[in-house]
Amino acid sequence: MRTPAGYACLAVAGLLALSSLTACANDAAGTTADSGGGGGKGESVKIMVGGLDKLIYLPAMLTQRLGNFRAEGLNVQLLSEPAGVQAETALVSGQVQGAVGFYDHTLDLQVKGKSVESVVQFSQAPGEVEMVSDKASGDITSPEDFKGRKLGVTGLGSSTDFLTKYLAVKNGVKVSEFTPVAVGAGPTFIAALRKGAIDGGMTTDPTVATVLDEKAGKILLDMRTPEGSQRALGGPYPSSSLYMQTDWVNGHKETVQKLVDAFVKTLQWMSTHSASEIAAKMPADYSQGDKTLYAEAVRSTLPMFTDDGVMPEGGPETVEKVLKAFNPNIKNATVDLGRTYTTEFVEKAGK
């Protein structure tokens, strides 16, 4: 008879096998980029991304496609998991050296006894959108209507799960009064919305653009811009970032500096190029056959990104406030925000 731990081991093994296959595909994609892509000779680093094709994490693949990793003498292997919480798991288990995911995981991990820090901040807003199905749109007009509903998140314990719970609690709905459903993103999210498996849910582009194009749902809350983040969350919300275990950062500062230099070059490049130019650099299959719609999705997401990798002022405090609203572990703990991120490397980037 298998124990729960046995099942967990099998699940992890399956996820790692899937990630390895994804990594091979990503390496192949990177080497076909106009600028030479990734896969260059040099120091090897594995980075797990909480969904490589999600536009909130666009700087990861774009950095490889622009050849910025290789220019820094790095051989970066990008792997992919469907949710940020799985990228977090891969990092703390030592399977990878870095994770591209939401900054909020650094706070969550600290209260669990893990020292993890963001070394470059990609964004100043969540880049997330709360959507409702066409069928439920007349009944769900604000988070106050979440009670009794099934709401899609990428994964339980993910940042979409965190934000959904915060929006509910902020608007008078207890976390026990609605049901979060792990539906991933892309086709699985859209199918769940269409079939009524969820009444609404939180997702990102390009899923948002596809849902709207197919008229499968409508936007309830848009947090793709700093203004949207301010309205929904009360301040800037640093989300996508490269975070790493603090001990590894301290022991590999030269490598971390090269990684940050590469990402900051990408963020600066993004700030001076159009959505269409950015979309054209990404793997062809990311557009799913509709380049115009994909470019529009990039355009809608661009406002969330920083142009220098610096943590936005007041951002960590907003994230702490959000997590303390519903997470009992963080609510009753003292979080040292200064240990959840470092500006040491972004301050030196480009110099």
Q: What is the pLDDT of residue 86?
A: 77
Q: Are residues 29 and 88 in the same domain?
A: yes
Which residue, 199, 223, 247, sits at the end of a domain? Answer: 223
Q: What is the pLDDT of residue 15?
A: 40
Q: What is the pLDDT of residue 159?
A: 86
Q: Are residues 157 and 288 in the same domain?
A: no
Query: Can you name the residues that pair with 43 across neighbouring β-strands?
Result: 74
With respect to residue 229, please indicate whether it lies within any of the assigned structural domains. no
Q: What 3-state class would DSSP assign to 303? A: helix
338 or 31, which is more confident: 338
Which residue, 223, 252, 276, sits at the end of a domain? Answer: 223
Q: Are residues 102 and 8 in the same domain?
A: yes
Q: What is the pLDDT of residue 83?
A: 66
Q: What is the pLDDT of residue 141?
A: 96
With respect to residue 349, please indicate whether it lies within any of the assigned structural domains. no
CB 55 within 8 A of CB 279: no
Q: At 133, give phi and psi (nearest 5°).
A: -70, 155
Q: Are residues 145 and 8 in the same domain?
A: no
Q: What 3-state class would DSSP assign to 191? A: helix
Q: What is the pLDDT of residue 84?
A: 62
Q: Are residues 274 and 200 in the same domain?
A: no
Q: What is the pLDDT of residue 89?
A: 87
Which residues, 6+ apart, have CB-to-CB distance to 328 below 8 Å?
Answer: none
Q: Average pLDDT in the 233-260 region?
A: 96
pLDDT tens by residue, 64-112? 999 999 999 999 999 998 666 778 888 999 999 999 999 999 999 999 9
What one-character-per-residue DSSP string does 199-268 give? SEEEE-TTHHHHHHHTTSEEEEEEESSHHHHHHHHSS----EEEEEEHHHHHH-HHHHHHHHHHHHHHHH
With respect to residue 344, please indicate whether it lies within any of the assigned structural domains. no
**Domain range for residue 293?**
4-125+238-298+306-339
With respect to residue 119, please indicate whether it lies within any of the assigned structural domains. yes
Of 41-45, 141-145, 240-244, the one with minimum mean pLDDT is 41-45
Domain count, the chain: 2
Q: At 296, give phi and psi (nearest 5°).
A: -65, -35
- Given a cut of 70, is residue 42 above it in pLDDT? no
Q: Are residues 161 and 212 in the same domain?
A: yes
Q: Are residues 162 and 197 in the same domain?
A: yes
CB atoms within 10 A of CB 251: 10
289-293: long-range contacts at Cβ-Cβ below 8 A with a sequence spacing of 24 or more?
290/213, 293/206, 293/209, 293/210, 293/213
Q: Are residues 71 and 172 in the same domain?
A: no
With respect to residue 86, please indicate whether it lies within any of the assigned structural domains. yes
Q: Are residues 22 and 111 in the same domain?
A: yes
How far is Cα of residue 299 from the mean position of the Cα atoms in its chain? 17
With respect to residue 49, please indicate whether it lies within any of the assigned structural domains. yes
Q: What is the pLDDT of residue 117?
A: 98
- Given a cut of 60, is residue 27 above it in pLDDT? no
Q: Are residues 140 and 79 in the same domain?
A: no
21: CATH: 3.40.190.10
pTM, rounded to two decimals? 0.83
Q: What is the pLDDT of residue 87?
A: 83
Q: Are residues 117 and 251 in the same domain?
A: yes
With respect to residue 345, please indicate whether it lies within any of the assigned structural domains. no
Q: Are residues 132 and 171 in the same domain?
A: yes
Question: How far is the C-alpha of 2 from the C-alpha of 129, rounded, in Å?
Answer: 40
With respect to residue 164, please indicate whether it lies within any of the assigned structural domains. yes
pLDDT tens by residue, 47-60? 999 889 999 999 99
pLDDT tens by residue, 166-201? 999 999 999 999 999 999 989 999 999 999 999 999
How far is Cα of residue 54 from the mean position of the Cα atoms in its chain? 7
Which residue, 223, 252, 272, sits at the end of a domain? Answer: 223
pLDDT tens by residue, 281-330? 999 999 989 999 999 999 999 999 999 999 999 999 999 999 999 988 89
Q: What 3-state class would DSSP assign to 343? A: coil
- Given a cut of 90, is residue 34 above it in pLDDT? no
- The whole-chain average pLDDT of the chain stands at 88
